[in-house]
Amino acid sequence: MLKIISLFFLTALAEIFGCYCVYIWFKKTASHCFLGLAILSLMLFAWLLSLHPEASGRIYATYGGIYIIVSMIWLRLVDNVKLSSFDLIGAGIILLGTVVIISGWRS
Cβ contact 46:15 at 8 Å: no
Cβ count near 49 (within 10 Å): 18
Q: What is the distance between the alpha carbons of residues 61 and 54, in angstroms, rounded to a whole number?
A: 11
Who's near 8: CB < 8 A, 6+ residues apart?
62, 63, 66
In whole angstroms, what is the distance from residue 101 CA to residue 25 CA? 36
| Maximum pairwise Cα distance, the chain | 49
Would you tell me how many other CB atoms lie within 10 Å of the CB of residue 67?
A: 20
pLDDT digits (tens, 9 = 90+) for 1-42: 678 788 889 999 999 999 999 998 988 778 889 999 999 999
pLDDT average, residue stretch 62-79: 92
Q: pLDDT digits over 51-64, tens only? A: 876 667 777 888 88
Top pLDDT among 106 and 40 is at 40
Domain edges within the chain? 2-104
